[in-house]
Amino acid sequence: MSGNNHQYAFFLGCIAPNRYPGIEAAAIATSKNVGIDLLPLKGASCCPAPGAFGSIDLNVWYAMAARNIVLAEQMGMDIALVCNGCYKSIWEVNHKLKHNAELREGVNEVLKEIDMEYKGTIDVWHLAELYYDPEIVGVKKLADSVKRPLTGAKVGVHYGCHLMKPRKERHFGNTESPMWMEELVAALGAEPVQYRNKMQCCGAGGGVRGYDITHALDITNEKLINMEEAGVDAVTEVCPFCQLQFDRGQLEIKEKFGVEHGIPVLHFNELLGLAQGMSPDELALDLHAIDVEPFLKKIL
C-alpha cells in the first residue's frame, strides 16, 4: 500500500458483493492503479435500500444509514462506494444529518441504544466521481492507467438516478444531458454513444421491481430499445442494481415480452478492469446473465 494513496472506507452494499463480486474485485484492483486504496468497512450492512426502507419508514432509513456512516467515522475515513442506491442512502443521509439538527438528535437517540453516535465528521463519495475529480484521479490519470484500450467498442452510458438526482441537493450540475461519464468511457479508448432519453430510469427503483416486475421491465425494455437503435456494443453504469435490472432483466424481458436484445452490461469498474488488463475471469464476467463474449471479441 503506497503512502501517497488516497484512502477510503469501502462501502460494499448488497448486490455488488453478493451477486456481481467481480465489481468488488475490480473496484479494489482498478482503484489501486490510480492511487486509491479501498479499505474494508467492517460490519457494514445494506445501505439500507432507499426504495424499500424509505418507502415504509424514513426514520428507520436515516438510522440504519447513520449506523453505516458511524462505522466509517470510527475509522476516521471518508466512504467510497460503487452503487447509486447506496449513494442515495449513505450520501444523502449524511448530508441531511449534517444540516438538520433535529433529525440528527432523533437519530442519535436511537444510535445511543447501540452505543454509537453520529458526529458528521466524514464525507461520502461515489468512485465514479473520484475518478472524474482531477484532484483525486482525473480523466488523464485514468487514461494513463489503461493498458488495453477498448478501441472500436461503442459504449452507451446509463447514469442511473440516485447519483445525480435530485439535482438541487447534489453537486453534479446538469442532469438532463450530462457528459462526464462519457469522458470517463472515452478515457478507456472506447467510443461513448448517445441514445434517446439517456437519463431515463432503469425501471427497478422505488421497490417497483419487487412490486410489479412487468411494469419495471417495460421501462427497462424501452431503454434497451433506445440503446440498440444507437448501435451500442455494451452499456456501462455505476449502479449494481441498474446492472441487475439490465442484465438479468434481459432474460426476463425475453421470457415476458419475447424480445431479445443481447446487450452486454458492464459496471464502469468492470470496464475499467478490462481496460487495465484484467482478464474476464478476474472479473467473473461469466456470472453475467447476458453473454459478454461478443463485447470481449471486439476489444481483446
**Are 72 and 11 a contacting pair, CB within 8 Å?**
yes
> Which of 175, 160, 7, 162 has its CA nearest to residue 93?
162
Per CB under 8 A, 249 contacts other proteins:
no
Question: Which residues, 275 to 294, sit near other proteins by CB under 8 A?
Answer: 281-282, 284, 287
Nearer to other proteins, 168 or 297 (CB): 168
Give the whole-angstrom CA distance, residue 224 versus residue 206: 20
| Spatial contact of 213 and 178, defined as CB atoms under 8 Å apart | no
From 63-71, 119-127, 139-147, 264-272, span contacting other proteins (CB under 8 A) = 63-71
- Residue 175 as a binder of other proteins (CB under 8 A): the answer is yes
SS3 234: strand
Considering only 59, 151, 194, 279, the residue that binds other proteins (CB under 8 A) is 59
Instruction: Judge whether 236 and 188 are in contact, CB under 8 Å.
Output: no
Options 27, 161, 253, 266; binder of other proteins; rule CB under 8 A? 161
Rounded Cα distance between 41 and 5, Å, is: 17
Residue 66: which H helix or E strand, with range? helix 58-75
Interface pick for other proteins out of 7, 21, 35, 121 (rule CB under 8 A): 21
The CB-of-58 to other proteins minimum distance in angstroms stands at 6
Residue selected from 24, 182, 233, 237 as contacting other proteins according to rule CB under 8 A: 24
CA distance 85 to 11: 12
Residues near other proteins (CB under 8 A) = 10, 12, 14-15, 17-19, 21-22, 24-25, 40-46, 48-60, 63-64, 67, 110-111, 113-114, 116, 161-162, 165-168, 175-176, 199-201, 203-208, 210-212, 215-216, 218-219, 222, 281-282, 284, 287
